[in-house]
């Protein structure tokens, strides 16, 4: 190997010039192929060998100093999450938990001057690529508009894999809007044992940050999720009856639970679903709900706050629909017709959940008698 010394390899006040460092990086892969510093293989006099070896050794030392400098380590320090990056759903681990864990890893690596500690592989889920700590890309396979502002999105899963979710668990979506990262939690509406795909129900708001991102989605796009989080602990026949209070997209966690019960012929749990929507047109998943209501142990009620008359509804919905806003008397009346002692599930906006809790307590139910998603 003939190693030629470039004319501008110069030392400036004990440090190497930027040009020399640049050339050093280019030549580094070749050092060691029988050309170690102590025995360079090239045709030249010993003084020329010293001319090359000395800068190489100095460069190696200087490079180590640069890579272990405070500025370099600060550039590798994890950034604290913005408030918009927290979905506010009480995820475990939360984005702030992940930040704290990464910060501790960075502090350990910095103390040991070992950057390889920053590249530790994170544990992967056994069922799919979905993990609570890292975001994974999933491809949109179909987009179905349900109402004026709500959509049902289907995402591909590799092979016959499943998300491996438990009942009531949610996953967190990451979006980028005008350079700002935003995260929100959504519950897949597909049964927990679904293979090859999963579906999510999302309502888009006029001024919502995440809504601006979601509105741009189309088939073939990659979307990033992490999870799962939360969940409703449930086993077959654990409760005599589940009384579900759902508002709008709060229907999402209820659907997998209902399908889990109807899909298990040994589960004899009764279910009463009370879906609260503005109008009949705003009711999500009508066909699925009608199909599930055909089972002997499932019944559905609808409360429509902005409908004027039941006569405008299809006859099959008129008998189990109420006009107005759900209130304490309406809940009490429905619960009085429960076939067994009910355990209540609540999902909706913060205001809806707080109102339902207040009504249940007024009826005489304690916190041990209901669960809020």
Residues contributing to the annotated binding site for FAD? 184, 186, 201, 203, 210-211
Q: What is the 3-state secondary structure (H, E, C) of 213-277?
A: HHCCCCCCCEEEEEEEEECCCCCCCCCCEEEEEEEHHHHCCHHHHHHHHHCCCCCCCEEEEEEEE
Tokens of 253: 């966690």
Q: What's the CA gap between 102 and 138, in Å, rounded?
A: 24
Q: Taking the CA of residue 272 as centre, how many other CA atoms within 13 Å lie in the half-sphere pointing to its CB?
A: 21
In terms of phi and psi (left: phi > 0; alpha: psi -120 to 50; beta: otherwise), the region of 279 is: beta
Residues flagged as binding site: 184, 186, 201, 203, 210-211
Distance, first Cα to last Cα, the chain: 69
Tokens 């050092």, residue located: 31
How far apart CA 318 and CA 221 sit, in angstroms, is 40
Q: Cβ distance 201 to 266 under 8 Å?
A: no
CB burial of residue 121 (10 Å; 0-12, 13-18, 19+)? exposed
Query: Nearest to residue 176, comparing CAs of 225, 218, 210, 217?
Result: 210
222-230/270-277 β-pairing: unpaired
Question: Are the CB atoms for 197 and 141 separated by under 8 Å?
Answer: yes
| 3 state DSSP class of 323 | strand
- ω into 235 cis (within 30 of 0): no
Please give the torsion angle defined by the CA atoms of residues 56, 62, 67 and 69, in that order, rounded to the nearest 10 degrees: 180
Helix (H, G, I), strand (E, B) or coil at 32: coil
**Which of 205, 182, 156 lies closest to 81, judged by CA?**
182
């Amino acid at each position: 190997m003939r190693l030629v010394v470039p004319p501008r390899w110069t030392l400036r006040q004990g440090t190497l010039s930027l040009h020399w460092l640049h050339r050093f990086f280019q030549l580094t892969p070749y050092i060691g192929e029988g050309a170690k510093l102590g025995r360079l293989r090239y045709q030249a006099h010993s003084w020329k060998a010293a001319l090359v070896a000395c800068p190489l050794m100095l460069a190696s030392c200087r490079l180590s100093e640069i890579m272990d400098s405070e500025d370099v380590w600060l550039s590798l320090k994890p950034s604290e999450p913005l408030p918009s990056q927290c979905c506010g759903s009480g995820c475990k681990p939360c984005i702030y938990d992940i930040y704290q864990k990464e910060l501790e890893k960075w502090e350990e690596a910095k103390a040991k001057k070992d950057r390889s500690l920053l590249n530790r592989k994170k544990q992967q889920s056994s069922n799919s690529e979905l993990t609570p700590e890292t975001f994974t890309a999933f491809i949109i396979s179909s987009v179905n508009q349900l109402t004026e502002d709500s959509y049902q999105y289907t995402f591909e899963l590799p092979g016959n894999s499943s998300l491996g979710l438990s009942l009531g668990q949610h996953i967190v979506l990451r979006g980028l809007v005008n350079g700002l990262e935003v995260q929100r939690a959504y519950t897949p509406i597909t049964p927990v044992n679904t293979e090859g795909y999963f579906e999510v129900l999302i309502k888009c708001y006029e001024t919502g940050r995440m809504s601006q991102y979601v509105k741009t989605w189309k088939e073939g796009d990659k979307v990033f999720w992490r999870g799962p989080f939360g969940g409703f602990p449930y086993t077959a026949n654990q409760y005599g009856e589940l009384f579900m209070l759902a508002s709008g997209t709060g229907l999402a966690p209820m659907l997998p639970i209902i399908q889990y019960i109807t899909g298990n012929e040994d589960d004899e749990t009764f279910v009463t679903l009370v879906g609260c929507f503005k109008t009949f047109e705003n009711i999500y998943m009508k066909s699925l709900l009608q199909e599930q209501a055909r089972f002997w142990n499932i019944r559905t009620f609808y409360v429509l706050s902005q409908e004027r008359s039941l006569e405008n509804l299809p006859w099959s919905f008129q008998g189990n629909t109420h006009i107005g806003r759900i209130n304490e008397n309406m809940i009490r009346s429905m619960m009085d017709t429960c076939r067994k002692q009910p355990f209540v599930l609540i999902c909706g906006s913060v205001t809806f959940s707080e109102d339902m809790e207040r009504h249940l307590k007024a009826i005489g139910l304690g916190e041990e008698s209901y669960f809020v998603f």
